[in-house]
Amino acid sequence: MVYLKFVARVGRAPRLLVTDQAGKTMGARLVVQGTDIEPVPKDEHSKLGSAERALDEISRMVAVVMLDTNVPKYAWDIVGKHCSLINAVTQSCPTDSSTTIYEAESGLIPDSDKIPH
């Protein structure tokens, strides 16, 4: 689903998809679209680099917020969305360091006053 949203937003399929074996399920469709799939061997997530680091950082943020606020465990997905938003608003875009991830995705300048505390 994330892949399809990405293609819809960008307007074309990527030339290269580096995947941790998740691409096997869509492999035939991606080849038809002209996307080369580069699978990363099992337990070598470091080859996914910045994506893995970002997920790790957000996972740590979720854990800290859950512990600090005593949010029930079943609400981890809501906390995850909140932490992802904070990450997008505060981190530079990997392809354009003059903007945030949020700006690059939405085209809007983030307003930190509207983020729930």
Task: Compute the distance between CA of residue 73 and CA of residue 93 in angstroms, rounded to an integer.
Answer: 31
> Vertex 43, ends 81 and 95: CA angle to 5°?
50
With tokens 């941790």, the residue in question is 20
pLDDT digits (tens, 9 = 90+) for 11-47: 777 777 777 665 555 555 555 567 777 777 766 655 5
State whether residue 1 is helix, strand or coil.
coil
pLDDT digits (tens, 9 = 90+) for 64-116: 999 899 889 888 888 988 888 888 888 888 878 888 888 888 888 888 777 77
Q: Are 62 and 44 in contact (CB under 8 A)?
A: no
Task: Compute the distance between CA of residue 44 and CA of residue 8 in angstroms, rounded to an integer.
Answer: 29
Structure tokens at 55: 């997920």
Task: For the beta carbon of residue 67, count every other beta carbon within 10 angstroms.
Answer: 9
Ordered by start, the domain boundaries in the chain are 2-43, 49-114
